[in-house]
Amino acid sequence: MANPHESALHYPLGDTLPAPGTTIEVAPGVRWLRMALPFALDHINLWLLRDRQDGIEGWTLVDCGIDNDATRAAWERIFEHELQGLPVLRVIVTHMHPDHLGLAHWLTERWTTPERECRLWISGTDWNAGRMASQSTTGFGGDSAARFFARHGLTDPESLAKVRARSNYYSSLVPQVPGRFRRLMDGMVLTIGDRAWHCIAGYGHAPEHIALHCPPLHLLISGDMVLPRISTNVSVMDIEPEADPLPLYLKSIAALRALAATTLVLPSHGKPFTGLHERIAQLQAHHDERFAEVLGACSVRPQSAADLLDLLFKRKLDLHQTTFAMGESIAHLHALQTAGRLAPEAGADGVLRWRTIATTA
């Protein structure tokens, strides 16, 4: 979803972006950098936090970028020009998706010395999910994903062949996950430098996403939970085919209303912004509209997840986008099924289609 109400948000830095290999200070001791991504969503925002551990001055990194030569080279430029000659002390990862976790193994190894290990900090659930995904076929690729999408109406042979061929999708971007980590949990308070950062767990987008809130700086590193221009992907995947993640996501972002409306949000994609409460309301309204559209279509005739793609996504999708769009379509159907508004039925072709359930006045 491109945000049609973006003007209701405020971007304190305007259109200023960090150039490749450089950073911009967004608050005392907090620096913003961007890494390129080879997708339609072409960048990820990463963060440097001035830190001190065991009497050693240095930096904490938040999120990593994918594992490829270009990202490693960009990090090397950052190390040379932006760290003020200080080391990286630890790597925090908000969640297990490839653009966030991909280079964690390289970064932690790069900054580990005989005297001190540079540790990965991540939720236990996402560490385990990332480790499993990097070692096997899982999610949005391979035979299992192709069967799952076919069950939900994506029957085009060419598309299914491409899905089957993506059996190493995750591991190509995250070839390795550090074997040791420090667990982040909801409510944990980290001391980074001389400031307290509060861990806020969120669900629906990833198994156990951790956002970081710094009350003294009025900052929220939101990861992917709240983005200014696009809606966060919330998908059902083949490895958990009956999942119902969308209510979890909506409950998670609603809880962020407890933060001050003036909080500066540092998202993983897009520009830093204020207007957190407004953006939460926009995202809630967006999903309410999608629920209404799905119910309307299913009231005319039963619909598969693939049938709904043109309704939910008003643009042409490439294969990468289609796999995520299918996951989102299924997520909306499952949420309405849980709410007692839709029921699935399998056709003679084996495809699941949802029909509306009559309600009594």
- pLDDT tens for each residue of the chain, 361 residues long: 567 788 899 999 999 999 999 999 999 999 999 999 998 899 999 999 999 999 999 999 999 999 999 999 999 999 999 999 999 999 999 999 999 999 999 999 999 999 999 999 999 999 999 999 998 755 567 899 999 999 999 999 998 998 998 888 899 999 999 999 999 999 999 999 999 999 999 999 999 999 999 999 999 999 999 999 999 999 999 999 999 999 999 999 999 999 999 999 999 999 999 999 999 999 999 999 999 999 999 999 999 999 999 999 988 888 888 999 999 999 999 999 999 999 999 999 999 999 999 775 5
What is the total count of domains within the chain? 1
51 part of a folded domain? yes
142 part of a folded domain? yes
For residue 243, which of 319, 307, 327, 325 has the smallest C-alpha distance?
327
Provide CB contacts within 8 A for 84, sequence distance 6+: none
343 part of a folded domain? no
72 part of a folded domain? yes
Q: Is 85 left (phi over 0), alpha (psi -120 to 50) or beta?
A: left
308 part of a folded domain? no
- The four Cα atoms 64, 65, 69, 73 give a dihedral, to 10 degrees, of -60
Which CATH number is 284's domain given?
3.60.15.10
99 part of a folded domain? yes
328 part of a folded domain? no
How many CB atoms are located within 10 Å of the residue 86 CB?
14
Could you list the residue range(s) of the whole structural domain that residue 191 is in? 6-295
Instruction: Give every strand in the sheet of 219-223, ordered side by side.
Output: 189-192, 195-202, 209-214, 219-223, 264-267
347 part of a folded domain? no
Residue 253 sits at the vertex; the CA angle it makes with 252 and 255, to the nearest 5 degrees, is 70
